[in-house]
Amino acid sequence: MKLLLVLCAFVAIGASNAIPAIPGDNSHYVEGESRYIWMPDGEGKPVLVDLHEPVDEELLKTRNGANNQYWLFTRRNPRNAQVIRINQPNTIWGSNYLGSRPLKVIVHGLNNNGHTPMNPLITAAFLAVQDCNVIVVDWGALANTAYSTAAAGTPNVGEHLGTFLTWLFNTAGGNWNQVHLVGFSLGAHVVGNAGRRTGNRPARITGLDPARPGWANSANRLSRGNGQYVEAIHTDGHLLGIFIPVGDADFYPNGGKNPQPGCFTSLCSHGRATELFASSVHHPNRFVGRRCNTIWDAELGNCNGNTFVMGNAVINKRGSGLFGLHTNRYWPF
């Protein structure tokens, strides 16, 4: 069946200018008009997603934020996770968590889980530059379902994360002024909802190419005000990633859209945001943006205003505006 869909994808392109029903790639995707879009699976391979697929309401009763897993990493256990379970304080006391340390939280996107490469990549970057607690949120039970269902459950995942963080701090200590939430794709909207649930107290929220399909006009998307400072890095705007500004500061490397240097598909460009962020943590001043007058200037790369650094792990980072910059093809970009 999957092979038949792939073959149909190329037949359906045709010679007309109409939006194809089943596209060969995402170049013809139009928000609100296209039904199908290619998204990456857990291994980064393209899978065809039907955006009109009904939400599985019955599945959401058993796969939701209550299934979140919280994996703790510190410099004492940089690779082997210690699982902390809400309302089970002994899981904190038996872990390496220290409330006096800064807290970093990482949230993956669709078809991913806690083992997805972006998680160890960003975790290692944080621990390399700072003695901190890093919590990787595994919400794979829901994320590995149909996009429509995973997206419908995303706010609930974020609300449970916010509740967990409040419990964690009340139980074992912590400082909201030392909290940095980082989310990729649907995970960006997860951390936005987590921020709202905690009264917008996290010091910093970073959205890595926040998911676009169905989110541009959603009240539940990542937004400015979800934390004390909200930043977004856009790398596949207009396709898998949202292009409109959503934070205090929005960065548009290489125009903020596909193709990013070294990428040939929107799937690669979408994931590039995670790599750019990890690199920026290792190299805090590597990516210097220039302020753009308009979002059109950001897309065209015509930005010559004041400078502002993209990414990094600085917890008290503050700034606002649209910023453009250029990066390279390969790590560290």
Q: What is the pLDDT of residues 120-165, one digit of tens each?
A: 999 999 999 999 999 999 999 999 999 999 999 999 999 999 999 9
Spatial separation of the C-alpha atoms in residues 243 and 16, rounded to whole Å: 27
Q: Is 136 within the bounds of a domain?
A: yes
Q: What is the 3-state secondary structure (H, E, C) of 53-82?
A: CCCCHHHHCCCCHHHCEEEEEECCEEEEEE
Q: What is the pLDDT averaged over residues 4-9?
A: 40
Q: Give me the amino acid identity at 75.
A: R
Q: Is 269 within the bounds of a domain?
A: yes
| pLDDT computed for residue 6 by the predictor | 39
CB within 8 A of 144, min separation 6: which ones?
42, 111, 112, 113, 150
CATH number at residue 185: 3.40.50.1820
| pLDDT computed for residue 21 by the predictor | 72
Whether pLDDT at 19 is above 90: no
Whether pLDDT at 1 is above 50: no
Q: Is 15 within the bounds of a domain?
A: no
Mean pLDDT (the chain, rounded): 93
| pLDDT computed for residue 41 by the predictor | 87
Tens digit of pLDDT for each residue in 245-272?
999 999 999 999 999 999 999 999 999 9
pLDDT-above-70 percentage for the chain:
94
Q: Is 106 within the bounds of a domain?
A: yes
Spatial separation of the C-alpha atoms in residues 193 and 156, rounded to whole Å: 8
Q: Is 127 within the bounds of a domain?
A: yes
For the chain, what's the residue count?
A: 333
Q: Is 133 within the bounds of a domain?
A: yes
| pLDDT computed for residue 52 by the predictor | 94
Fill in the DSSP letter of residue 89: T
| pLDDT computed for residue 16 by the predictor | 38
| pLDDT computed for residue 284 by the predictor | 96
| pLDDT computed for residue 20 by the predictor | 66
Q: Which residues are known catalytic residues?
A: 185, 209, 270
Fill in the DSSP letter of residue 255: G
Tens digit of pLDDT for each residue in 296-313?
999 999 999 999 999 999
pLDDT-above-90 percentage for the chain:
88
| pLDDT computed for residue 18 by the predictor | 52
| pLDDT computed for residue 27 by the predictor | 83
Tens digit of pLDDT for each residue in 138-149?
999 999 999 999
> What pTM did the predictor assign?
0.93
**Domain count within the chain:** 1
Cα separations in angstroms, 129 against 6, 95, 279, 312, 329? 44, 21, 12, 10, 24
Q: Is 87 within the bounds of a domain?
A: yes
Quickly tell me which residue has 């500004």 as its tokens: 245
| pLDDT computed for residue 3 by the predictor | 37
Spell out the alpha helix ranges (H) of the chain.
2-11, 57-60, 90-93, 118-129, 140-143, 147-172, 186-197, 266-282, 295-300
Q: Is 35 within the bounds of a domain?
A: no
Q: Give me the amino acid identity at 6.
A: V
Whether pLDDT at 103 is above 80: yes
Domain limits for position 205: 65-325
Whether pLDDT at 226 is above 70: yes
